[in-house]
Amino acid sequence: MSEERLSRRKFLKRSGLIAAGVGIAACGGLGYAATVQPQIQFPEDQLGGDQMNSQNVLIAYASKAGSTAEAAEKMGGILAQRGFTVDVMPVNKVQDLNAYNQVILGSAIRMGSVLPEMSKFIEANAAALTAKPYHFFVLCLTMFEDTPENLEKTKAFLDPIRALAAPSSEGLFAGTMNRKKLSLLDRLIANMVKAPEGDYRDWTAIETWTQALPLA
Instruction: Decide if pLDDT at 42 tops 70.
Output: no
Give the mean model confidence (pLDDT) for residues 91-95: 95
Banded pLDDT at 185 (limits 50, 70, 90): low
Among 137, 130, 61, 127, residue whose Cα is nearest residue 93: 61
pLDDT of 112: 86
Task: Give whole-number Cα distances, 85 to 11, 35, 151, 157, 202, in Å.
Answer: 47, 37, 32, 30, 25
- Single pTM value for the model: 0.76
Instruction: Decide if pLDDT at 41 tops 50.
Output: yes
Contact 53, 86 (CB under 8 A): no
- At the top level of CATH, the class of 41-178+197-212 is alpha beta
Banded pLDDT at 12 (limits 50, 70, 90): very low
Among 108, 78, 133, residue whose Cα is nearest residue 200: 108
Contact 16, 183 (CB under 8 A): no
Higher pLDDT, 191 or 132: 132
